[in-house]
Structure 1
């Protein structure tokens, strides 16, 4: 990949149900594991919201619908453009569907969120979670 080639943005689904947020444990480079939101690259002709909904379905089997786009930024660690989309569950139960990418799914309440993700979230995402998660 040439350095001037633009990589597509990553859309992340921020899904809260019953006061808990859905996290997926992703296989990442160097064999490390990382808890993240369901997410993936936005495909040509797709909006960030559509990508977040599709990736959630592909990764976890959960059918969700877009509520609103929470924000967009260049991720400080990866340099990738990230689009964060708040989604509501329509139907289904989250499980590991894409076992090439995922090893586990979890619903986390506010009280144990830092056990999964020990660093602060992007400010608009954190504000949404603060409002949506029960402690």
Structure 2
């Protein structure tokens, strides 16, 4: 969910933010946390829990504005209500930055956790494969 929103939202983000091309995953993390989340959700998540290889990190949201007035009914306690954010991040990074990433929720305040944690893992760079003769 949210993938197509991310594919379209990245164009608006680039036009409004004047951010240049990110050179590595750490720089991408900074842009996501310090500019994108602030611009669209009015919050600045913390970047923590970097993996030793520098290919994985967590975004910690002290306050998630998407769940301000939400309560999960008992029969839907496994629902990841803000999973839309994972799709948006994945779609945006694939579209322009050419990064395939795995994005998932680790903690969620709707499930009683103290913070919302989104884990992002770099998978690979996406190479554009043009048909022969159309370079």
Q: TM-score, normalised by structure 1?
A: 0.26
Greater Rg by CA: 2
What is the TM-score normalised by the length of structure 2?
0.26
